[in-house]
Amino acid sequence: MLDPHLLRSDLPRIIKALAKKGHVFDETRYNTLEQERKALQQETEVLQQQRNQLSKEVGQYKAKQQDASALLAEVHKVTETLKAKSASCQAVQETLQDFCLRLPNLPHDSVPNGNSETDNVEIRHWGKIKAFDFPVADHTDITVGLGMCSFDRAVKIAGSRYMVLERELAALHRSLIQFMIDTHTEQHDYNEVYVPYLVKEACLYGTGALPKMREDLYAVEGEPASYLIPTAEVPVTNLLREEIVPYEQLPVKYVAHTPCFRSEAGSYGKDTKGIIRQHQFEKVELVQFVHAEKSYEALEALCGHAETILQKLDLPYRVVNLCGGDLSFSSAKTYDIEVWLPSQNTYREISSCSNFEAFQARRCKIRTRAPQEKKPQLVHTLNGSGLAVGRTLVAIIENYQQADGSVMIPAALQPYMRGKTHIHMPK
C-alpha cells in the first residue's frame, strides 16, 4: 500500500510513476474522495468539540442545581448529528481505502520503461547451452516415455493441468525440494519454516494478492473466508504481521516449501501441455525482512541465492530486469531468472526475485524501531522462488536428456537419489 501522506503531498509524481506500470490513476475520483474525507473529518471534529463543550456546561448547570434540560436537548441533537457525520466519514474512508488498496506499488527508478516481457532487459547470463547430437524432445514426451508421469490419470482425479509422478521422477521431484532447502539453510542462512496452506483474506490483502488476484485464487467455503495459498510468500510474509521486530534481529530470512494453488485465470491456451503451468505446483520460497536502507543490497543477494541452485545443477540461465509494464502489482523492482529449455529453444521463467520496499509491510503493519528513533519505522520485504520445483524438474529433464530416452541425474542431486546417475524406463 502506498504512503497516504505521499499521495496527499506529491500526487503528480505518484501518477507519473504508476503510469510506468501501465496504471491509469483516476485523479478526479481520488480528489473527490479525499476532499469528502477531509471535509467530513473536519465537521466531526467540530461537532465533537461542540458536544464536549455542551457536556461541560451541563455539568456546571447541575453543579449549581440549575435546569439543564435545554442544554441536554442540544447535546442530544449534536450527538445525533455527530453519529450521522461519523458514519458518512467512515463510509468515505472505507471507499478511499479500497481505492488505495487497488493502487500498485511504485516502480524503482532503475526499472526500465516498457509494456511487456519483450521490453525486459537482460542483466547477465550463466552456463553453456548444450548442443545435442540427436533430436531434442519435449519434457512431456520424455516423462510419458519413461512411464513415470501421467496427465490422463491426473485428469481422472482432479481435472486438467495436474500431474501424477511415479518412481524415480517422483523421487527426483522430492530430492529437488530437499536439495534447495538444504542449500538455503546451510549456505545462505535462511530459517526453515512450515506454514499453513490456508490463509485468511487479510493475509492476501497484506501481500497485495487481494483485491488484484481474486479470480486466480481458490476460495474455501466457511467462516471466516479462507483461501488456498497461491505461493508461500503469503503465509510467510504474514508471520510477522502486526509486529515490531527488534532492530538488531533484522534481517529476518525464511525459507519454506509449500504447494501452490492457482486457477490460472486469463492464461487459457498458454502452456496447456506439460508441467510448465499447472493449478497445483511446488515451490521453495525465500522471504526476507530487512532494514529499509539495505533492501536493494538484499535484493541482489537474494537473486544470487536463487541463482546458486541453477549453478549447482549446471543449468544455463539468464537474469532479466523487468520493465515497468511487466512488474507485479506489489513489486518495486523484480529480477526474473529464466532457465534454458532446449525443446523451446528459449529461456523460461523459473524464479522472480522482488523488492516490495514498504508496500507489503504497510499493509501488514510490520515495523522495527531504530535505537535513535522514537517512532517505529516500516521494514522492507523481499521474496523470490528458490526455485519453482516443477519448472526445475522440467529444465533437468530437457537439459539432461539422453539419446536413448533416459535422463541423467545432475551430480548435485545424486546423493539425494541414493547414488543413481540416470533415470531409465522400467524393464
User: Strands 191-192, 149-150: parallel, antiparallel or unpaired by DSSP?
Assistant: unpaired
Query: Does residue 3 belong to any structural domain of this protein?
Result: no
Domain span at residue 46 reads 26-101
Overall number of domains in the chain: 2
Answer with the one of 70, 101, 132 that is the final residue of a domain: 101
pLDDT for res 324? 97
CATH code at position 75: 1.10.287.40
Q: Which of 74, 101, 128 is the last residue of a domain?
A: 101
- Cell numbers for 15: 501518477
Q: For 349, list phi and psi in degrees, rounded to 5.
A: -60, 135
CA gap 383, 397 in Å, rounded: 27
Structural domain includes residue 5: no
pLDDT of residue 271: 62
Provide the pLDDT for residue 245.
97
Cα separation, 79 vs 291, in Å, equals 46
246 domain-assigned: yes
Query: Is the bond preceding 104 in cis, omega lying within 30 degrees of 0?
Result: no
Which of residues 41, 66, 101 is at a domain's end? 101
Both 35 and 155 in one domain: the answer is no
For residue 262, is pLDDT > 90?
yes
Instruction: Take residue 409 and report the three cell numbers written for it.
Output: 541425474
Average pLDDT, the chain: 94
CA gap 44, 232 in Å, rounded: 43
pLDDT attached to residue 150:
87
Judge if 80 and 189 occupy the same domain. no
Confidence bin at 374 (pLDDT 50/70/90):
confident
Residue 220 forms part of a structural domain: yes
pLDDT digits (tens, 9 = 90+) for 110-161: 999 999 999 999 999 999 999 999 999 999 999 999 999 888 899 999 988 8
| C-alpha closest to that of 293 among 334, 326, 328, 247 | 247
Residues 143 and 39 in one domain: no
Q: Cα–Cα distance between 169 and 144 in angstroms, integer?
A: 11
Query: Any idea what the Cα angle at residue 319 is, between residues 317 and 323, rounded to 5°?
Result: 140
353: nearest Cα among 335, 331, 328, 380: 335
Mean pLDDT, range 311-332, rounded to an integer: 98
Tell me the CATH number at 324: 3.30.930.10
Answer yes or no: is 8 within a domain. no
User: Do residue 327 and residue 225 come from a single domain?
Assistant: yes
User: Which residues are identified as catalytic?
Assistant: 262, 277, 349, 352, 391
Q: How confident is the model at residue 397 (pLDDT cuts 50, 70, 90)?
A: very high
204 and 62 in one domain? no
Task: Determine what percent of the chain is predicted with pLDDT higher than 90.
Answer: 85
Ranges 103-112, 349-358, 367-376: which has the least confidence = 367-376
**pLDDT beyond 80 at 266:** no
Q: What is the mean pLDDT of residues 20-44?
A: 96
The answer to whether residues 310 and 415 belong to one domain is yes
Residue 111 counted as domain residue: no
Q: Are residues 193 and 153 in the same domain?
A: yes
One domain for residues 72 and 214:
no
Residue 20 located in a structural domain:
no
159 shares its domain with 68: no
At residue 269, the pLDDT reads 56
Q: What's the predicted TM-score (pTM) here?
A: 0.92
**More confident: 222 or 51:** 51
Same domain, 47 and 159: no
pLDDT at 78 over 90: yes
Helix (H) or strand (E) holding 5: helix 4-9
Q: Do 196 and 235 contact (CB within 8 A), yes or no? A: yes
Residues 63 and 175 in one domain: no
